[in-house]
Amino acid sequence: MPQAATKKKSAPRGSADEWKVRRASGLQILEAPAFAPLDWLVHGFSTRPGGVSELASLSGAPKIKRERVLNLGFTDWDPRARVLENRKKFFRAIGADKLRAITLRQIHSDVAHRVDSSNAGAKDAPQGDALFTREPGLLLVVQTADCIPILLADPKRRAIAAIHAGWRGTLRRIAAKTLGRMHMEFGTRPEDVIAALGPGIGRCCYEVGSEVARDFDAHFPNAREWFDGPFDALASGENDPNWLPWLTMMPPGHQPPPLRVHLDLIAANRAILAGAGIPARQISSSGLCTACRTDVLFSYRRERTTGRLMAAIGIR
């Protein structure tokens, strides 16, 4: 497995959790091996290559390179017809072309929606960041370009969930709250659940400031474990420009730049899921950083103008 910082243009491979890449319909689909024994389940995490969209990028100034990519999100730079064609390719590649795809208007919240035959045909996608169901024939989908996609499966009750977890959703414990909804409505027991965390921006690349550090410190007693850098100084507010600025003895405009830290969203969501009762051995992650691996993934933070990945899970 190449290290997260490796820029070599090769297909993504599994992490220590033994994730797999399956080639289908000209695409590379990431799969979590823990889901493989569940023959009633379909799932997959998309990657960048193999689509019909054309993304322009600088390849050594001043030359502009046009790259064919599997963009699965409706963006300003990509015609809607191409995105729809990409989605057809992706759903076919994971064996879900006969299922009804359910999407969200993602808002970085802790809102989870139950989906079933009574609301699956709604014209407008609901606002929120998680979907869960026990209904066969439905494919739950979330989109990402740095945030963490999380798929949950309860083999005992054949219940599933798809979750979009950025730093705001992670702070609000969206993964644990979705699991709690599954318990209330389906009787799901956390100890039965399998969780798969797909590609997202890694600790190596996700730099955040004092506001994020203080928020996590206020909500999680073990937040320090998920940060690299001067977390204690940021969490205490000592680096805040409004915190006794005269102590720096620097003239206006010459203060040192604000301190920054790196946040590990994967570690945070692993801990949140484990804290909610899912055994650690049943939680796996791809080990791929979107910002490090823009050869095979999309990263909004690194690229700004970029595509969207999809994580999908459904019941046959």
Strand order of the sheet with strand 100-102? 20-24, 27-31, 41-45, 309-315, 138-144, 100-102
pLDDT tens, position by position, 222-273: 999 999 999 888 887 665 554 444 455 556 665 666 778 999 999 999 999 9
pLDDT in tens, 50-96: 999 999 875 555 666 789 999 999 999 999 999 999 999 999 999 99
**CATH at 29:** 3.60.140.10
Does one domain contain both 197 and 211?
A: no
Please check whether residues 217 and 198 belong to one and the same domain.
no
For 107, other C-beta atoms within 10 Å of its C-beta total 12
Tell me if 305 is assigned to some domain.
Answer: yes
Q: Is residue 267 part of a domain?
A: no
Q: Do 299 and 153 have their domain in common? A: yes
Q: Does the residue 163 lie in any domain? A: yes
Q: Which tens digits make up the pLDDT trace of 210-231? A: 999 999 999 999 999 999 999 8
For residues 121 and 89, membership in a common domain is answered with: yes
258 falls within a domain: no
Residue numbers of the domain that contains 222: 207-248
Are residue 110 and residue 214 in the same domain, yes or no? no
- Please indicate, yes or no, whether residues 228 and 291 belong to a single structural domain of this protein: no
Please list, in sequence order, all residues whose beta carbon lies within 8 angstroms of the beta carbon of residue 84, skipping any fewer than 6 positions away.
Answer: none
Do 184 and 239 have their domain in common? Answer: no
Average pLDDT over residues 132-141: 98
Helix ranges, the chain (H):
80-93, 167-171, 174-186, 210-219, 231-236, 265-275, 300-303
Residue 145 lies in a domain: yes
pTM of the model: 0.90
The DSSP result for 109-173, as a single string, is S--EEE--TTTTT-SSPPBSSEEEE--TTEEEEEEESSSEEEEEEETTTTEEEEEEE-HHHHHTT
Smallest Cα–Cα separation from 203: which of 227, 172, 230?
Answer: 227
For residue 3, being part of any structural domain is answered with no
Closest CA to 283 of 191, 214, 146, 203: 191
Answer whether residue 170 is part of any domain.
Answer: yes
Residues 24 and 172 in one domain: yes
Identify the pLDDT of residue 254. 59
Average pLDDT over residues 182-206: 98
Burial 185-222 (b: 16+ CB within 10 A, else e): ebebebebbbbbbbbbbbbebbebebebbbbbbeebee
Considering its fold, how many domains does the chain have in total? 2
pLDDT of residue 58: 55
- 110 plus 77 within the same structural domain: yes
Cα(105)–Cα(117) distance, integer angstroms: 19
Is 256 within a domain? no
Residue 307 and residue 218 share a domain: no
Residues 98 and 219 in one domain: no
Tell me the average pLDDT across 6-23: 60
Residues in the chain: 316
Domain co-membership, 311 together with 193: yes
φ/ψ of residue 282, rounded to 5: -100, 15
